[in-house]
Amino acid sequence: MPQQANTDITVGIVAGEMSGDQLGAGLIRALKSRWPDARFIGIGGPAMMDAGCDSLFPIDRLSVMGIFAVLGRLRELLNIRKTLKRCFLEQKIDVFIGIDSPDFNLPLEGFLKQRGIKTVHYVSPTVWAWRQKRVFKIRRDVDLMLTLLPFEADFYRRFDVPVRFVGHPFATDIDPDIDHERAKRFWDFAPVDKVVAVMPGSRGGELKYMGPLFLETMRLVYIMCPQVRFIVPLASAQRRQQFEQQMSQYDVDLPVQMVDGHAREAMAAADYVLATSGTVTLEAMLLKRPMVVAFRWGAITHAILSPLVKNKYIALPNLLADEEIAPEFLQEKATPEALARELYSLMQNKERCRTMQARFDDIHHQLNLNASTQAAAAVAELLEENVGGWRAGAGSPG
């Protein structure tokens, strides 16, 4: 589509996580290459604001995990959504893009679609894995679903949901031939060090459960392999303080290097990764790092949600391959002993690591489609159908 420099376009856009902030920034830049004068308003983090988004609330106000955490913040979240509704109608946005955060964004998309605004959801919720009946609400409330993973698009097509697989931006951002030894030297590791990047989660709720589990795993691995060195990137000062408090309860002096942020650089330097299930496992896969994956949540949350889970795997590399490439452990199976044994097994089996890395490389190429450009093209096609079509009849925020 040719660039339309004078087109007056206003885009509502909301990201609720730092991973969504990066996706949103790439999409904003790609859309601005088509419409340099386009305006972007909503909620974003530093990357989206740098790209040109006017953020009405701090992004961390939407970042909550777990049923009880959401209940504790419910009034605030509802007030934020009400303010956004009013703002989007007053500003007469042409399209709304909700990035991930489905529990917050999908109801907002439904409200806006009822008022004639085109709606896009970028990053599929795990509807293919659990609570699958949500797909009918998505079909009603979303004009276009943009998926990062191919199996997600296949799922939506079965239910006649308009969908576009755009690839994953990480696959474009991460060099498939990254210099591992150079990255290792950057963090002052010796060539003989067996470096494990430990990724206990970016949110407080994750770290509450994963921090102690991973620290005990680290202790056991250190006993089995004194040459091991650990690097632990923490997402924020709060998470670092939380992890340091957890670590202070251990008598053993573990060889740990904690860093603020720089998760990708830390994993690039590692020989192995111990990861909490989530987007970080995709990054580790694209960096070709052999990994062990685990996840735990609270017992009550697990009892409520586990019957609703439909998929066989929790780690994204395994979901993409539809087989267990990376060993994974969920809930009661995620014990320090099991994780330590698996990590040590990887350290002793170079052929197994090479096989895992070869599979990771294959998936990397499948996902490398330049996602931001693909997503912007899909949004532009949708928007061409509707620019200006709703403005005369927009309703009240209710």
Least-confidence region, from 119-128, 247-256, 314-323: 247-256
**Per-position DSSP letters for 333-360, written without gaps between them:** G--HHHHHHHHHHHHH-HHHHHHHHHHH
Question: CA–CA separation, 282 vs 367, rounded Å?
Answer: 11
Q: What per-residue confidence (pLDDT) applies to 311?
A: 65
Question: pLDDT tens-digit profile of 191-212?
Answer: 999 999 999 998 888 899 999 9
Q: What is the pLDDT of residue 390?
A: 37
In the predicted model, is pLDDT for residue 134 greater than 60?
A: yes
What confidence tier does 298 reach under pLDDT thresholds 50, 70, 90?
low
Look at residue 67 in the predicted model and tell me its pLDDT.
45
> Which among 270, 303, 298, 293 has a CA at the least distance from the CA of 214?
293
> Tens digits of per-residue pLDDT, 380-394?
999 887 554 433 344
Question: How much is the average pLDDT of 318-325?
Answer: 93
Among 318, 316, 198, 194, smallest CA distance to 263 is for 198
pLDDT mean over 245-252:
85
Q: Spell out the domains of the chain, with CATH numbers in brackets.
A: 10-167+369-393 (3.40.50.2000), 173-367 (3.40.50.2000)
pLDDT over threshold 70, residue 396: no
CB 237 within 8 A of CB 198: no
Mean pLDDT of 72-100: 92
* For the chain, the helix, strand and coil percentages under 3-state DSSP, each to the nearest 5: 50, 15, 30
**Is 238 a residue whose pLDDT tops 80?**
yes
Task: Tell me the two tokens of residue 379.
Answer: 């949004």
- C-beta neighbour count of 325 within 10 angstroms: 22
